[in-house]
Chain A
Amino acid sequence: MKTVEPFVSTTNACKMCTPLGAAMAFKGLEGCVPFLHGSQGCATYMRRYIISHFREPMDIASSSLGEKDAVYGGKANLMQGLLNVIGKYKAPAVGIATTCLTETIGDDVPTILHEFKKECLADLNGEMPALIHCSTPSYGGSHMEGFHAAVRSMVAQLADPKTAKHRGINLFSGFVSPEDIRHLQDVFAHFGLPATLLPDYSETLDGPALEDYQNIPGGGTPLDAVRAMPGADASIEFGRTIKPERSAGAVLRDTYGVPLHSLGLPIGLRESDALFTTLETLAGCSAPRRYALERGQLLDAMVDGHKYVAGKKAIIYGEEDLVVGLTSFLSEIGIKPVLVASGGESGLLAEAVAAVTEEFPGDPPLVRDGVDFYQIVAEAEALEPDLIVGNSKGYRELARARNIPLIRVGFPIHDRFGSQRVLHLGYRGALNLYDLIVNALIEKKQEDSSVGYGYI
Chain B
Amino acid sequence: MTTIAKKKKAVQMDPTDVVQDLLKKYPTKVARKRAKQIMVNEAEGASTPEMGANVRTIPGIITMRGCTYAGCKGVILGPTRDIVNITHGPIGCGFYSWLTRRNQTHAETDADENFMTYAFSTDMNENDIVFGGEKKLKQAIQEAYDLFHPKAIAVFSTCPVGLIGDDVHAVSKEMKAKLGINIFGFSCEGYKGVSQSAGHHIANNQIFKHVVGTEGEVKVGEFKINLLGEYNIGGDGFEIDRILDACGITVISTFSGNSTYEQFATAHTADLNTVMCHRSINYVAEMMETKYGIPWIKVNFIGAEATAKSLRKIAQYFDSPKLTERVEAVIAQEMPAVKEVMDDVRSRTEGKTAMLFVGGSRAHHYQELFNEIGMRTISAGYEFAHRDDYEGRHVIPEIKIDADSRNIEELEVEPCSENYNPRKTQEELKKLEESGFKFKEYAGMIPDMPNKSLVIDDLNQYEAEKLIEIMKPDIFCAGIKEKYSVQKLGIPLKQLHNYDIGGPYAGFKGAINFFTDIDRMVNSKVWSYMKAPWQENPELSATYAWE
Name A residues whose Cβ lies closer than 8 Å to a Cβ of B.
7-13, 15-20, 30-31, 35, 38-49, 51-52, 55-70, 77-78, 80-85, 87-92, 99-101, 104-105, 137-140, 142, 207-216, 218, 222-224, 343, 396-397
Query: A31-B546, A45-B92, A139-B126 are known contacts. Are A59 and B461 too (CB-CB below 8 A)?
Result: yes
Minimum distance in angstroms from A294 CB to a CB of chain B: 28
CB-CB under 8 A from A63, the residues of chain B are 59-60
Interface check B407, CB cutoff 8 A:
yes
Query: A59-B461, A100-B89, A101-B163 are known contacts. Are A69 and B191 too (CB-CB below 8 A)?
Result: yes
The closest CB in chain A to the CB of B489 belongs to A213
CB-CB under 8 A from A99, the residues of chain B are 159
- Contact between chains at A41 and B117 (CB < 8 Å): no
- Contact between chains at B63 and A40 (CB < 8 Å): yes
- Contact between chains at B66 and A41 (CB < 8 Å): yes
Q: How far is the CA of A11 from the CA of B115 in the complex (A)?
A: 11
Interface check B90, CB cutoff 8 A:
yes
- Contact between chains at A212 and B59 (CB < 8 Å): no
Question: In chain B, residues 237-279, which have Cβ atoms closer than 8 Å to a Cβ of chain A?
Answer: none
The closest CB in chain B to the CB of A94 belongs to B60
Minimum distance in angstroms from A377 CB to a CB of chain B: 11
CB-CB under 8 A from B512, the residues of chain A are none
Name B residues whose Cβ lies closer than 8 Å to a Cβ of A.
1-6, 25-27, 30, 56-70, 86, 89-98, 117-126, 128-129, 136, 139-140, 143-144, 158-160, 162-164, 189-192, 194, 196, 403-404, 407, 461-462, 465, 479-481, 483-485, 487-490, 530-531, 538-542, 544-546
Minimum distance in angstroms from B133 CB to a CB of chain A: 9
The closest CB in chain A to the CB of B196 belongs to A41
The closest CB in chain A to the CB of B542 belongs to A218
CB < 8 Å neighbour of A61 from B62, B68, B69:
B62
CB-CB under 8 A from B163, the residues of chain A are 70, 101, 104-105
Q: How far is the CA of A216 from the CA of B122 in the complex (A)?
A: 37
- Contact between chains at B67 and A40 (CB < 8 Å): yes
- Contact between chains at A17 and B92 (CB < 8 Å): yes
- Contact between chains at A48 and B481 (CB < 8 Å): yes
Minimum distance in angstroms from A102 CB to a CB of chain B: 9
The closest CB in chain B to the CB of A141 belongs to B125
- Contact between chains at B119 and A70 (CB < 8 Å): no
Minimum distance in angstroms from A306 CB to a CB of chain B: 37
Minimum distance in angstroms from A243 CB to a CB of chain B: 16
CB < 8 Å neighbour of A44 from B56, B481, B487, B530:
B481
The closest CB in chain A to the CB of B199 belongs to A41
Query: Which 7 A-B pairs give the minimum distances between C-beta atoms?
Result: A41-B67, A17-B92, A81-B60, A84-B60, A81-B59, A9-B140, A39-B190
The closest CB in chain A to the CB of B29 belongs to A80
- Contact between chains at A51 and B1 (CB < 8 Å): no
- Contact between chains at B59 and A77 (CB < 8 Å): yes
Minimum distance in angstroms from A46 CB to a CB of chain B: 7
CB < 8 Å neighbour of A213 from B3, B93, B158, B546:
B3
- Contact between chains at B91 and A15 (CB < 8 Å): yes
Q: How far is the CA of A78 from the CA of B128 in the complex (A)?
A: 26
Minimum distance in angstroms from A297 CB to a CB of chain B: 32
19 pairs from A and B in contact (CB 8 Å cutoff): A10-B120, A11-B121, A13-B95, A31-B544, A48-B479, A64-B57, A64-B59, A66-B194, A70-B162, A80-B59, A81-B59, A84-B27, A91-B1, A92-B1, A100-B92, A104-B129, A104-B159, A210-B530, A212-B541
CB < 8 Å neighbour of A224 from B61, B462, B545:
B545
- Contact between chains at B158 and A100 (CB < 8 Å): yes
CB-CB under 8 A from B5, the residues of chain A are 212
CB-CB under 8 A from B123, the residues of chain A are 9-10, 13
Q: How far is the CA of A258 from the CA of B305 in the complex (A)?
A: 71
- Contact between chains at A83 and B56 (CB < 8 Å): no
CB-CB under 8 A from B540, the residues of chain A are 208, 210, 212, 214, 218
- Contact between chains at B2 and A90 (CB < 8 Å): yes
Q: How far is the CA of A245 from the CA of B438 in the complex (A)?
A: 67
Minimum distance in angstroms from B47 CB to a CB of chain A: 32
- Given contacts A45-B70, A47-B481, A57-B485, 18 further A-B pairs with CB under 8 A are A9-B86, A9-B122, A39-B191, A43-B62, A44-B64, A46-B92, A51-B483, A80-B59, A82-B60, A84-B59, A84-B61, A90-B2, A100-B89, A101-B159, A210-B488, A210-B530, A214-B3, A215-B465
- Contact between chains at B143 and A67 (CB < 8 Å): no
CB-CB under 8 A from A64, the residues of chain B are 56-59, 63
- Contact between chains at A59 and B62 (CB < 8 Å): yes
Q: How far is the CA of A321 from the CA of B196 in the complex (A)?
A: 36
Q: How far is the CA of A446 from the CA of B278 in the complex (A)?
A: 52
CB-CB under 8 A from A77, the residues of chain B are 59
Q: Give the interface centre of A38, A211, A214 by most chain B CB atoms within 10 Å.
A: A211
CB-CB under 8 A from B89, the residues of chain A are 100
CB-CB under 8 A from A343, the residues of chain B are 91
Minimum distance in angstroms from B547 CB to a CB of chain A: 9
- Contact between chains at A65 and B191 (CB < 8 Å): yes
- Contact between chains at B119 and A92 (CB < 8 Å): no
